[in-house]
């Protein structure tokens, strides 16, 4: 019985030691994360909010651009279940952002994803009104940005496109860039 009690004391001491180390590591991680946080770019907040506004059935009255783009994409693309696509668009002065969310990414090949972006771009460029605007297109998957097109750059990765390119739609960053 004495041997069991001694082993229990040893294990109890080891458990306290492990808990002490784990709690110190956890505290260190929390403190480090508090001081290493950089200021968030407000444009990312705007983009996230707009990405949540996508819908399967854009309303002709409230979002005419998405309504027209959806109709055009449905007619011009084969190999993609266009009923599972969600749309949202924003027009500001001379710029236009179209966000498309792909619901069933696994059922769409990478090359077909590019066709989706090109179909949207072709429709907007063929319009007398929209072709004069600076066009931004953001194709989102379930967990990442798939494709991005801006007036200056295009990212056709098909899996992990650079979402940062879209931020210029919301204006210039107010966060100062650190000079080296």
**What CATH number does the domain containing 48 carry?**
3.30.300
Mean pLDDT across the stretch 57-84? 87
Number of helices and strands (H, E) in the chain? 4, 5
Confirm whether 179 is domain-assigned. no
Cα three-residue angle 38-160-132, rounded to 5 degrees: 90
SS3 call for 123? helix
Same domain, 114 and 140: yes
Same domain, 8 and 64: no
Same domain, 75 and 22: no
What is the domain count for the chain?
Answer: 2
pLDDT of residue 26 exceeding 50, the answer is yes
Same domain, 18 and 52: no
CA distance readout (Å), 86 to 59, 74, 97, 171, 172: 12, 12, 14, 25, 27
Residue 79 confidence (pLDDT): 73
- pLDDT tens-place string over residues 33-70: 555 545 578 899 999 999 999 999 998 889 999 999 99
CA distance readout (Å), 160 to 157, 170, 178: 6, 21, 26
Residue 179 confidence (pLDDT): 45
Confirm whether 180 is domain-assigned. no
Same domain, 29 and 99: no
Same domain, 17 and 48: no
Confirm whether 23 is domain-assigned. yes
| Average pLDDT in the chain | 80
Range of the domain at 113: 42-170
pLDDT of residue 17 exceeding 90, the answer is no
Residue 180 confidence (pLDDT): 41
Same domain, 51 and 125: yes
Residue 161 confidence (pLDDT): 87
Residue 144 confidence (pLDDT): 85
Run of H or E residues at 106: none
- pLDDT tens-place string over residues 116-166: 889 999 999 998 888 899 999 999 988 888 889 999 999 887 778 889 999
């Amino acid at each position: 019985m004495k041997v069991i009690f001694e082993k229990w004391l040893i294990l109890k001491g080891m458990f306290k030691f492990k808990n002490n180390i784990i709690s110190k590591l956890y505290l260190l991680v929390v403190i480090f994360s508090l001081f290493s946080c950089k200021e968030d770019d407000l444009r990312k907040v705007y983009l996230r909010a707009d990405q949540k506004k996508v819908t399967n059935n854009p309303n002709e009255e409230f979002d005419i651009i998405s309504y027209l783009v959806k109709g055009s994409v449905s007619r011009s693309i084969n190999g993609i279940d266009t009923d599972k696509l969600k749309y949202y668009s924003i027009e500001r002065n001379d710029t236009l952002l179209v966000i498309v969310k792909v619901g069933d990414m696994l059922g769409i090949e990478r090359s077909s994803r590019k066709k989706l972006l090109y179909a949207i771009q072709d429709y907007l460029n063929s319009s007398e009104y929209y072709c004069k605007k600076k066009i931004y297109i953001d194709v989102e998957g379930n967990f990442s940005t798939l494709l991005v097109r801006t007036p200056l750059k295009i990212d056709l990765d098909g899996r992990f496109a650079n979402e940062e390119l879209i931020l210029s739609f919301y204006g210039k960053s107010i966060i100062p860039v650190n000079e080296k």
